[in-house]
Structure 1
């Protein structure tokens, strides 16, 4: 489990072990490993978020060493199914993808895409952008106005990824 905080503890994100297991499966450890990604689903508790699911890459996704684009099938269907089965409790939280670096940081493309996604949100909540590196994770919330909030882990490095 991983807990992340922003704004002096006023915002918390909790990642469940199954979510961390998905990330671990797609860390770019060797040169031929392509970027991977998916969407984050979970529950909202006021300003706090619990990420309960991360979709893995689907065959329709476009994956290269330095890019990931979600395809037309898979992720949205999973989100819709979980929304219905949970009666609206489990919802879309944001996006995740990997970078081939130890401690990742967002590219200009990442930042632009998160702003676009956040502006499209109908519930007014920020979009969470999460990048998985070889030894660490970067998490940012982006509001509809484009304001970024960077989260910090409460445990230092990510031991589940630091192998």
Structure 2
């Protein structure tokens, strides 16, 4: 299991995301191959509070779907399909599993977030009623490397210090 630790900032609690080995393996299986469109989905999990940090364990992710429009260098979630996925998980878990971010692919070996990637999370905070104040973004490179960032409702973005790819 990898723990992605994003430090406390400006008086806010730190955020840790635990990414179990089996989720890492599954995400890497969906890396973008030559000639394919980007693909992606949602991340969901449960939280426990620990001292000065919220610790989220990623327990579920949605699979790529033809319902999400995509091209070789872009991906867009179908809002209704995404909402149905989260609603079903929330009900099945008796309200313990929440939407905590999204994942998608990029066509390069060592991806990083782009302005449109940041905009997706910004728009989620602006246009949705999210119950949590941070969102995780994971990008899968075409050779299986993973890049992650944490974005807060106030726009602050944190990357993993000295560990951009894992």
TM-score (norm: length of structure 2): 0.82
Query: Structure 1 stretches of 5 or more lacking a match?
Result: 159-163
Out of 134, 141, 145, the residue aligned to residue 150 of structure 2 is 141
1:52-78, CA deviations, whole angstroms, 9 ceiling, x for partnerless residues? 111011221112111111125533222
2:89 corresponds, among 69, 82, 93, to: 82
TM-aligned CA deviation for residue 48 of structure 1: 1.3
Structure 2 CA distance for partners of 1:74 and 1:153, relative to 1, 3 Å: farther
How far, CA to CA, are the matches of 2:111 and 2:134 in structure 1?
A: 20
Does residue 48 of structure 2 align to residue 45 of structure 1?
A: yes
Deviation at 1:6, TM superposition (A): 1.9
Per-residue CA shift, 1:22-45, capped at 9, x if unaligned?
A: 3122112x3212211000000112
SS at match of 1:23: helix
Q: TM-score, normalised by structure 1?
A: 0.83
Tell me if 1:25 matches 2:29: yes
Which residue is equivalent to 2:75?
68
Return closer, same or farther for 1:118/1:153 CA change in 2, 3 Å cut-off. Answer: farther
Q: Secondary structure at the match of 1:11?
A: strand
CA contact 2:42–2:101 (8 Å) conserved in 1: yes
Distance, in Å, in 1 between the alignment partners of 2:88 and 2:107 is 31
Aligned residues: 155
Whether the aligned pair in 2 keeps the contact of 1:39 and 1:95 (CA below 8 Å) is yes
Correspondence for 2:119 among 112, 130, 141? 112
1-side partners of 2:65 and 2:71: how far apart? 14
Which 4+ residue blocks in structure 1 deviate beyond 6 angstroms? none
Q: Is the CA contact 1:4–1:152 (under 8 Å) kept in the aligned structure 2?
A: no
Matched-pair contact (CA < 8 Å) for 1:58–1:75: no
What do you get for the CA RMSD once the two structures are aligned? 2.2
